[in-house]
Structure 1
Amino acid sequence: MNLTFGWIRDEDIHAWAKLTNQLALIDDSDEFYTAEDLLEELLEPGLDPKLDTVAIWAADEMIGYGQIRVGQQLRDEMCRVSLGGGLLPAFRRQGLGTKLLEILEARGISKATALHPATALAFDMWGHSVGHGAGILAESMGYTVARYFQDMEITSENFRQETENWNQTENLRVLPFSEGYSERVRVLDNEAFSDHWGSTPKTIDEWNAMTSARTFSAERSQILVGEIEPNGPEQVLSYILASEWTPGELYVARVGTGRASRGKGYAAKLLSSVVLNAFSHGYTKADLSVDAQSPTGAVGLYQRLGFSVTRTGAMYRKIVSVKEIDSRMHAPSATLEHG
């Protein structure tokens, strides 16, 4: 069968959505997207579909895809390049995955070098559960497991509400997320995630794209404001940002607390408030994804509220030195064209 490689165009969105939803069922990722969701991805700040996406076609069916996201800011003096994609099972183990990954790596090196010259980079790719073909492919290409992440979910039957009262001496207030607080939450988010593996600071454009996305739910997101010092200025202390990818299911996208406010139970009480609010408005479950080695002990917090693990997957990483980047930049790379 003749296969055609190209990039993902606006008119390919429905074929892309069909493929990603097939893969979500086949690989048990629970990552289902509408065409509208994926169109937003093509409009992300800094993304060029011709350079950052790959589509593999068998006649008029998209049977595989790939995409890269290059970090706009550095972490640990490295540029992070996230690689995503997948192939239908009938086309796996035929060398297509290797070819796709080679194309994505070449594109990632080119773009990362343009943004951050003379800087090492880290390729990160999702390997699904242990033994999945994606992880086997990653290992064959020099990647190693860097981290395990757990998907967790909760239903109203399992929910254990946090009952401890707020400390009223700190003049605490729980508010829905709003545009007026957005920039302060972004700054706090960058601080809160600065010690989390794989996280890079979010630019204003990246943050605005996330909080204006079709799936983002400001109504179900909450922030905690109060005083760090007695009679001090009001500050954002903690926040929960939520989305709704599947109708009736709340996805907890970001949970963060400023370092000066950690250890006071803010995140537990605020997340409890968010989950209770969701269930009271007819949501059937809430879910999230968490680093199994989170430095804040987040896994225990979620379990205390009643969240349970539904799946565990591995993130694979390969670090490419400046010297290797220089040598690979002079190697020929593939050119994608639509037939």
Structure 2
Amino acid sequence: MNLLYDWIRNENVQAWAELTNHLAVVDCTDEFYEAEDLLEELHEPGMEPERDTVAVWDGNRLVGFAQLRVGHQLREGLSRVSITGGVHLEYRRQGVGTKLMDILESRARQKSAQLHPGAPAAVDMWGNAPGHSAGAMAEARGYLPARYFQDMTVKAEEFRKSSMELGVNDSLKVLPYSPEWAESIRLLDNEAFADHWGSTPKTADEWEAMTSARTFRAECSRILVEKQPGSLRPRVLSYALSSEWVPNELYVARVGTARDSRGKGYAGRLLSDVIAAALADGFTEVGLSVDVQSPTGAVGVYERLGFSVTRTGTMYRKDILRSADASCRSFEPR
């Protein structure tokens, strides 16, 4: 094969969407994207497309891609790198995936060292269900299974509304998401996920990119606030933020509760409101993804609302060594 390796450009996003949606079907991930969403992703904070992405072309056909992200901040002194990508079904087992990983693992060492000099680093990659080809390749390259995640969904006939009630004189109030709360929620998110595996704190720019994205659904997102004695501004205790990647299917992307407020049913109440609003607005189902070993007992919260598991995936991790190379390219972009 005479394949061309390049980086992903603005004009490539339609071909990128077609390949990504092909992979969603053949790999049973249901991760479908529109070209507009991938264009936003291509220019998210910290992304350098000419260095952090790779496109594989067979003539005018995009047959493989990969992209890399490095957390802007350390978590417990670790620089976290994630690599995502895929190869068209017809082009697998021909070395394409191996070359993509060679390129981006080298870039991972370089960029991590630039952003976080002296800090240890690890690369994470998704392997889908056990036995999937991506997982087999990960293990062949020295990655080890590090965490298991479940995709869960609930439909109208399965939904069980939360029984938690907020009294009329209660200091607690459920509100729809609005930008005025963005910074308070971002800080709470960083606190809430500080004890979650694989998470890194989000910067203000990253939070703005997420909540201003085309797919973000403020109208189907909720926050719980508490009036503070002597303070004009309530404190945010919990939040559930939603997106719509697939038409008529709501995806709850972020759920969190202040650590001193866990175990009180707040997340379940907010999610219950989100699900009810989504179903009333015509969504056919609500989905989310959860760490099976979540320290908050999130799986139980979701099951009580009627969520059930639709698929299980594996996150693989490998520690990486530093590289002093000035360039990580093993190809010359066109």
The interval holding the TM-score normalised by the smaller chain is over 0.9
CA distance in 2, matches of 1:61, 1:158: 42
How many residues end up aligned between the 2 structures?
Answer: 333
Q: CA deviation at 1:230?
A: 6.2
Secondary structure of 2:150's counterpart equals strand
Structure 1 residue 281, shift from structure 2 partner: 1.1
Q: Does 1:16 align with 2:16?
A: yes
* 2:55 match: 55
Alignment partner, residue 268 of structure 1: 268
For 1:300 and 1:285, locate their aligned partners in 2 and report how far apart those are by CA, in whole Å.
19
Which secondary structure state, in structure 1, belongs to the residue aligned with residue 81 of structure 2?
Answer: strand
Alignment of 1:129-140 (within 5 A): 129-140=129-140
Q: CA deviation at 1:333?
A: 3.7
> How far, CA to CA, are the matches of 2:184 and 2:10 in structure 1?
34
The residue type equivalent to 1:81 in the other structure is: V
Matches within 5 A, 1:1-339: 1-166=1-166, 170-227=170-227, 234-320=234-320, 324-325=321-322, 328-330=323-325, 333-339=328-334
Q: Which amino acid aligns with 1:51?
A: R
> Deviation string for 1:70-105 (max 9, x for gaps)?
110001211000000000122112222111101011
Using a 3 Å threshold, how does the CA distance of structure 1 residues 9 and 113 change in structure 2: closer, same or farther? same
SS in 1 for 2:222: strand
Q: Which amino acid aligns with 2:65?
A: Y
Inter-CA distance 231–169: structure 2 relative to 1 (3 Å threshold): farther
Which amino acid counterpart does residue 106 of structure 1 have in structure 2? Answer: S
CA distance in 2 between counterparts of 1:67 and 1:309 reads: 28
**Residue 317 of structure 1 aligns to a residue in which SS?**
strand
String of CA shifts for 1:146-203, please: whole Å, max 9, x gaps.
Answer: 0000000000010000122125564111111111111000000000000000000000
Work out the CA distance in 1 between the residues paired with 2:139 and 2:326. 22
Please state whether the residue corresponding to 1:108 is helix, strand or coil: helix
Unaligned residue ranges in structure 2 (runs of 5+): none
Structure 1 unaligned spans of 5+: none
**CA shift in 2, pair 1:332/1:248, >3 Å:** closer
Of all paired residues, the percent bearing the same amino acid is 57
8 A contact 2:103–2:330 mirrored in 1 = no
Cα distance in 2 between the residues matched to 1:109 and 1:170: 52
- CA drift of 1:119 comes to 1.3
- Aligned partners of 2:317 and 2:170: how far apart in 1? 42
Conservation of the 8 A alpha-carbon contact between 2:166 and 2:173: no
SS of residue paired to 1:329: coil
1:103 and 1:334 in contact (8 A); partners too: yes
Give the 3 Å change call, closer, same or farther, for CA 333–238 of structure 1 in structure 2.
Answer: closer
CA distance in 1, matches of 2:327, 2:303: 50
Relative to structure 2, which stretch is displaced further, 110-119 or 30-39? 110-119
State the Cα distance separating 1:335 from its structure 2 match.
4.2
Using the size of structure 1 for normalisation, the TM-score is 0.95
TM-score normalised by length of structure 2: 0.96
Cα deviation for residue 247 of structure 1 reads: 1.5
Coordinate RMSD, CA, aligned: 1.5
